[in-house]
């Protein structure tokens, strides 16, 4: 149990100009959730006492995304230390641990953050603890200089590093934990005498040590702290997140026949012995119970699927689709905002919208619930044990009673009672010999025209 109070400062003021987007970069989505949404969920797992998100001017959309948490505005982008300084008022009087992290690092995990916080309480009482990493390509990351005793001596930005310092493989991952009592004293002493003329938060280590304070480093995974500055990086992190989510799903007892072709959302819930065929997309809000089979080329979003059901192939389940146990949904079926009770079948080429379908009902191929009149949506209620013949249009609002039968090709505009037969189509007429006369007429016309 954590005894020291914790505050989290999430830096999210970057515009992400290389994204070439009208939206702040932290609002771009990974696995159906904004990047900053991922970060805030990870922060929430730490149960902090205070959280503040630092945003730029005119970033009201980011403020709405993180609400009801408070935001602080960094008026000008003068560097990471300046961004933390913008949170001073929100942290007034706070003397616990202060974790600084970034809104565009959606892969970071709470265990890594907790390791940083734990290291802040090393017997040496460090004023700052930094997350380090050893990427395969150190590239332009800042380098960490660590003493033989494990003390972090300084962080050197790549542009300011000597060739020998650039040869170091231990790099700055950007995340830090400060002692809240010493944080702003350190921040206020950071200058901008560097290659970019910015106030670097990384200078906090040098200033802390010059003040006689200890600094330490915790090494973590380079993957977790990957940020996003361009669309290509957004796609790379989506790939990494999908790999993580697929592994979690399979470790929890689901079978993904071809994992690389299945797209999951951050909140997808797959039960035990669920089988997912190739090329299936799970949007946000999908819960699948045990022993469900989802066949290829299905798309699901904000739906619940009961135990033992079979979905697809080529089915689309839209928001509000709620399927009980042992439901069969076949190819080219679309369901929206509808409750389907246990044992019912909708196997071919049908649209069910704003409806309730009772247990053990069979919906024939080509059935449509006509739920929209051009102005408003209306409900269709179909009872249990109903047989709906193929190519039926149910014009809502309409109710079909238990055990009723609807003749194929019907247009149903009035309620149907329990156990009734409803047929809503024109009487068939048969004109003997008409087809032969028609062909002769057409053939004769062609002959006359040659």
User: Which residues are tagged catalytic?
Assistant: 348
Nearest to 236 by CA among 255, 249, 223: 223
* Residue 151 DSSP code: -
**Distance between CA 253 and CA 269 in Å, rounded?**
11
- Residue whose C-alpha is closest to residue 176's, from 195, 194, 151, 202: 202
d(CA 217, CA 119): 8
The DSSP secondary structure of 239-282, one letter per residue, reads HHHHHHHHHHHHHTT-EESSGGG-B--TT-EE-TT-EE-SS-EE
Beta strand 143-146 pairing with 322-323: unpaired
Report the side by side order of strands in the sheet with 362-363. 255-256, 275-276, 293-294, 310-311, 328-331, 345-348, 362-363, 387-388, 405-406, 421-422
Residues comprising the chain, all counted: 450
Residue bearing tokens 């007034």: 92
User: For residue 445, how many other CB atoms are within 10 A of its CB?
Assistant: 9
> Can you read off the two tokens belonging to residue 64?
């709405």
Q: Are 123 and 210 in contact (CB under 8 A)?
A: no
Q: Which residues pair with 374 in a beta bridge?
A: none
CA distances from 82 to 4, 108, 187, 323, 364 (A): 26, 23, 8, 52, 65
| Full strand arrangement of the beta sheet holding 355-357 | 269-270, 286-288, 303-305, 322-323, 339-340, 355-357, 380-382, 398-400
């Amino acid at each position: 149990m954590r005894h020291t109070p914790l505050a989290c400062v999430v830096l999210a003021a970057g515009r992400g100009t290389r994204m070439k987007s009208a939206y702040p970069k932290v609002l771009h989505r990974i696995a159906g959730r904004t990047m900053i949404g991922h970060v805030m969920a990870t922060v929430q797992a730490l149960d902090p006492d205070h959280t503040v998100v630092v945003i730029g001017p005119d970033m009201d959309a980011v403020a709405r995304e993180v609400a009801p948490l408070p935001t602080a505005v960094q008026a000008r982008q003068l560097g990471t230390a300046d961004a933390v300084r913008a949170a001073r008022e929100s942290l007034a009087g706070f003397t616990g641990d202060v974790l600084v992290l970034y809104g565009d690092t959606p892969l970071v995990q709470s265990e890594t953050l907790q390791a940083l916080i734990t290291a802040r309480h090393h017997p040496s009482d460090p004023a700052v603890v930094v997350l380090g990493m050893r990427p395969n390509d150190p590239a332009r990351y800042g380098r960490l200089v660590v003493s033989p005793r494990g003390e972090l001596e300084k962080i050197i930005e790549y542009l300011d590093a000597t060739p020998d310092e650039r040869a170091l493989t231990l790099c700055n991952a950007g995340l830090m934990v400060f002692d809240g009592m010493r944080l702003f004293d350190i921040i206020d002493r950071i200058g901008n005498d560097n290659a970019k003329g910015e106030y670097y938060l990384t200078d906090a280590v040098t200033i802390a040590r010059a003040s006689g304070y200890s600094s330490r480093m915790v090494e973590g995974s380079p993957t977790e702290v990957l940020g996003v500055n361009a669309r290509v990086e957004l796609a790379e992190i989506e790939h990494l997140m999908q790999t993580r989510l697929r592994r979690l799903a399979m470790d929890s007892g689901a079978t993904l026949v071809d994992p690389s072709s299945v797209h999951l959302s951050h909140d997808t819930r797959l039960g035990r012995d669920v089988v997912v065929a190739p090329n299936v997309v799970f949007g946000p809000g999908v819960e699948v119970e045990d022993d469900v089979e989802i066949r290829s080329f299905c798309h699901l979003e904000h739906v619940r699927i009961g135990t033992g059901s079979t979905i697809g192939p080529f089915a689309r389940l839209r928001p509000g689709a709620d399927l009980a146990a042992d439901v069969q949904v076949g190819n080219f079926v679309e369901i929206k905002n509808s409750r389907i009770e246990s044992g019912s079948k909708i196997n071919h080429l049908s649209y069910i919208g704003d409806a309730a379908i009772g247990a053990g009902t069979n919906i024939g191929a080509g059935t449509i619930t006509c739920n929209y009149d051009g102005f408003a949506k209306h409900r269709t209620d179909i009872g249990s044990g109903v047989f709906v013949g193929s190519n039926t249009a149910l014009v809502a609002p309409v109710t079909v009673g238990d055990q009723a039968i609807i003749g194929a090709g019907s247009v149903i505009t009035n309620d149907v009672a329990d156990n009734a037969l409803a047929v809503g189509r024109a009487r068939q007429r048969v004109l003997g010999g008409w087809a032969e006369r028609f062909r002769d007429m057409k053939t004769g016309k062609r002959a006359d025209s040659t």
